[in-house]
């Protein structure tokens, strides 16, 4: 019987329905809806009514898919926005009562562990790896080796939605705003060493697609490409970014902050490139279920 995993993030609400075969996760269906649940949470401390409505609508559609495929159990995790919002528990109760989805709000540490498990599962690689997971409200860094518990992990309070709201007021943003954001990333990025880096989630996959990747999973994105794409996007207005090839239009408002976080993270690690993976917390939670 397949397992269903729902990830209620700060920027997206996602679904994975998969079979577990010989320790691997085989996708049956995968969906992503940009719901921006965390919009405004950094300043208000609350989830907005319209944002909760968007998430509920997405989960209603996902529940139909889950029921059609006969998936059980349903594993639901909620991350940064639900952790930070004072009305997060009430929204959790609503989703459980209305849709039968018990979205467990996980800590940043647990988010990091599951992301590392998903990103590194099935790899034949003995190098020390750092996984970078840039979300809407937080960014996780996890260091370890395949098949072992991570040797280091941290969850930072920086993300594409949070840092857009905090730093980028202009459209397009001003150079001083961009510099302040980059300076803050450099201040918050952990001082770690690894032989190889894997970047997961929407910012990383979007930059790979913009860079011309025919297949995002496994694509090698260079630091130079990150710098070039980030500078290009920062010169555009939000409306202009919506037409960029490879970028989902709904990611246009937050992609500049995300791209700077990724660029400065690669630079802080002293690496020249990062490998992009489309396997992340969804796959980790499916394996751990």
Distance spanning both ends of the chain, measured CA to CA: 12
Which residue intervals of the chain bear CATH 3.30.420.150?
A: 122-281
Which residue intervals of the chain bear CATH 3.30.420.40?
A: 3-106
Distance CA 243, CA 236 (A): 10
| Residue showing tokens 């001083």 | 176
| pLDDT of 22 over the 80 cut | no
The CATH number given to 3-106 is: 3.30.420.40
The answer to whether 203 and 258 are in contact (CB under 8 A) is yes
Mind listing the pLDDT tens digit for each residue in 62-92?
A: 999 999 999 999 999 998 889 889 999 999 9
CATH number belonging to the domain at 122-281, selected among 3.40.50.1100, 3.30.420.150, 2.40.340.10, 3.90.120.10: 3.30.420.150
Predicted TM-score (pTM) of the model is 0.92
Best CA proximity match to 266, nearest among 231, 224, 235? 224
| pLDDT of 221 over the 90 cut | yes
**pLDDT number for residue 149:** 87
Q: How many other C-beta atoms lie within 10 A of the C-beta of residue 98? A: 12
């Amino acid at each position: 019987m397949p397992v269903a995993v729902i990830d209620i993030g700060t920027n997206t609400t996602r679904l994975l329905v998969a079979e577990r075969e010989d320790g691997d996760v085989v996708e049956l269906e995968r969906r992503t809806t940009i719901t921006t649940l965390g919009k405004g949470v950094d300043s208000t401390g609350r989830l907005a009514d319209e944002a909760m409505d968007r998430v509920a609508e997405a989960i209603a559609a996902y529940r139909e898919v889950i029921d059609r495929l006969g998936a059980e159990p349903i594993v639901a995790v909620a991350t940064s926005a639900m952790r930070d919002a004072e009305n997060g528990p009430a929204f959790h109760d609503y989703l459980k009562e209305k849709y039968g989805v018990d979205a467990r709000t996980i800590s940043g540490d647990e988010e990091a562990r599951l992301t590392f498990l998903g990103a590194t599962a099935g790899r034949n690689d003995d190098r020390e790896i750092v996984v970078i997971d840039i979300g809407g409200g937080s960014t996780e860094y996890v260091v370890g080796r395949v098949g072992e518990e991570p040797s280091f992990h941290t969850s930072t309070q920086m993300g594409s939605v949070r840092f857009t709201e905090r730093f980028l007021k202009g459209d397009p943003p001003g150079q001083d705003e961009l510099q302040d954001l980059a300076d803050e990333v450099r201040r918050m990025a952990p001082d770690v060493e690894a032989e190889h880096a894997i970047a997961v989630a929407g910012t990383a996959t979007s930059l790979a697609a913009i860079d011309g990747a025919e297949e995002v999973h496994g694509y090698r994105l260079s630091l130079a490409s990150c710098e070039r794409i980030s500078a290009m996007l920062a010169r555009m207005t939000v409306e202009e970014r919506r037409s960029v090839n490879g970028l989902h239009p709904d990611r246009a408002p937050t992609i500049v902050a995300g791209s700077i976080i990724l660029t400065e993270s690669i630079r802080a690690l002293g690496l020249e490139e990062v490998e992009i993976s489309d396997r992340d917390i969804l796959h980790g939670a499916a394996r751990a279920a």
